[in-house]
């Protein structure tokens, strides 16, 4: 019987007589599953798939038993979070005497259903792979960095900042962007390289407006903003991009210590800490406080609390530019 600490990250997923992938992040589920299946196929197994929600009693034991066709088995069971009572009973019994020549891969999408099975898998020492959603930008940035590292590719700080600005809000889009940059580019990936591929994104446009606004560059900030609005960008994410940058600056203000230490404490990536520190040096504390109040007012206005969302976002960006120039 396998003995392994659980849970394990998707990047360390590998075959075992019983292994569960649990979580609701499709990208991580797919990547963990691909790793396990690819490794298991090296033994040329007989492959069987079924859905735990429509399971009929005895299917698991029959599938996992040795056969004339192959001594090795790969059994993938989907929707364990919706499993039938028959599956739950058979799976719990199977854990007491698993076939060491089989890999039974259980996909559990989260929730309380099958909790007894999850607990018994962990108690038995079988691995449970963590595929929970990455809820904050810092974790998604670490994911992207890990993908580049695994591909033996370098992305500099400016490139990572640009990539996260453009695609960092959605892991599937971020992962697709990482794959494209790895496949289509050579050498170190910089902000200029990222901008060539994703500079037209709404998110990227919003963060360019934010960069110009917190730098006090009213002409550039308003030009970028009006271009974004004229090409169909919604005021809501534009306000959110500027507000996010202001909140990052407020988080690091007055803190000392290394960027790595602060990143862990503030739930930010180290590059975010460094960037926010550079930007906040140009601001005084009172002006930053007023800008956060303006952010709250603009957010309410563009979400239905004001008569004109376009006016609200233009006023907000102008106000941030004005406050940025106060010393």
| pLDDT of res. 180 | 92
Q: Are 66 and 99 in contact (CB under 8 A)?
A: yes
Of the pLDDT bands very low, low, confident and very high (cuts 50, 70, 90), residue 70 is: low
For position 2, what pLDDT does the model report? 45
168 neighbors 174 (Cβ within 8 angstroms):
yes
CA pseudo-torsion sign 186, 189, 194, 196: negative
- What pLDDT band is residue 263 in, cutting at 50, 70 and 90? confident
What mean pLDDT comes out for the span 251-259?
81
Q: From CA 141, how far away is CA 159, in angstroms rounded?
A: 12
The model's pTM = 0.68
Classify the C-alpha dihedral 68-71-77-83 as positive or negative: positive
The arrangement of strands across the sheet holding 128-130 comes to: 8-9, 128-130, 18-22, 102-108, 73-78, 46-51
For range 192-213, the mean pLDDT:
81
Q: List, for residues 72-84, the tens digit of each pLDDT value.
A: 999 999 999 999 9
Choice among 205-209, 214-218, 267-271, 322-326 with the minimum mean pLDDT: 267-271
Please say whether the beta carbons of 217 and 242 come within 8 A: no
pLDDT given for residue 193 in this prediction: 92
Q: Name the band, by pLDDT with cuts 50, 70 and 90, for residue 97.
A: very high
Map out the domains of the chain with their CATH numbers.
8-130 (3.40.50.300), 137-199 (1.10.8), 202-325 (1.20.272.10)
Cβ burial of 149 (10 Å; 0-12, 13-18, 19+) is: exposed
Report pLDDT digits (tens) over 122-176: 999 999 999 999 988 788 989 999 999 999 999 998 888 888 878 887 888 899 9
Q: Is 21 strand, coil or helix?
A: strand
Going by pLDDT thresholds of 50, 70 and 90, the confidence category of residue 205 is confident
């Amino acid at each position: 019987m396998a003995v392994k600490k659980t849970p394990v990250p998707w990047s360390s997923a590998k075959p075992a007589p019983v292994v569960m992938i649990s979580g609701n992040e499709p990208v991580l589920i797919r990547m963990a599953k691909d790793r396990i299946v690819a490794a298991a196929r090296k033994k040329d197994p007989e492959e069987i798939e079924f859905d735990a929600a429509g399971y009929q009693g005895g299917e698991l034991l029959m599938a996992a038993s040795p056969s004339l066709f192959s001594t090795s088995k790969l059994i993938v069971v989907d929707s364990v979070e919706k499993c039938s009572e028959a599956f739950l009973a058979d799976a719990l019994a199977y854990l007491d005497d698993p076939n060491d020549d089989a890999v039974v891969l259980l996909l559990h999408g989260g929730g309380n259903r099958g909790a007894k099975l999850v607990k018994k898998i962990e108690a038995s020492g079988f691995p449970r792979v963590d595929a929970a959603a990455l809820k904050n930008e810092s974790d998604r940035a670490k994911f992207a960095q890990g993908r580049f590292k695994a591909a033996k590719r370098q992305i500099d700080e400016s490139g990572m900042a640009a990539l996260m600005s453009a695609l960092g809000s959605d892991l599937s889009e971020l992962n697709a962007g990482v794959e494209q940059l790895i496949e289509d580019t050579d050498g170190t990936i910089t902000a200029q390289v990222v901008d060539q591929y994703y500079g037209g994104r709404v998110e990227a446009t919003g963060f360019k407006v934010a960069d110009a606004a917190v730098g006090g560059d009213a002409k550039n900030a308003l030009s970028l903003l009006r271009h974004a609005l004229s090409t169909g960008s919604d005021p809501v994410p534009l306000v959110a991009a500027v507000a996010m940058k202001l909140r990052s600056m407020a988080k690091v203000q007055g803190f000392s210590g290394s960027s790595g230490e602060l990143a862990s404490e503030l739930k930010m990536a180290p590059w975010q800490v460094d960037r926010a520190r550079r930007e906040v040096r140009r601001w005084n504390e009172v002006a930053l406080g007023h800008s956060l109040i303006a952010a709250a007012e603009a957010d309410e206005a563009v979400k239905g609390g004001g008569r004109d969302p376009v006016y609200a976002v233009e006023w907000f960006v102008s106000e941030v530019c004005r406050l940025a120039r106060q010393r």
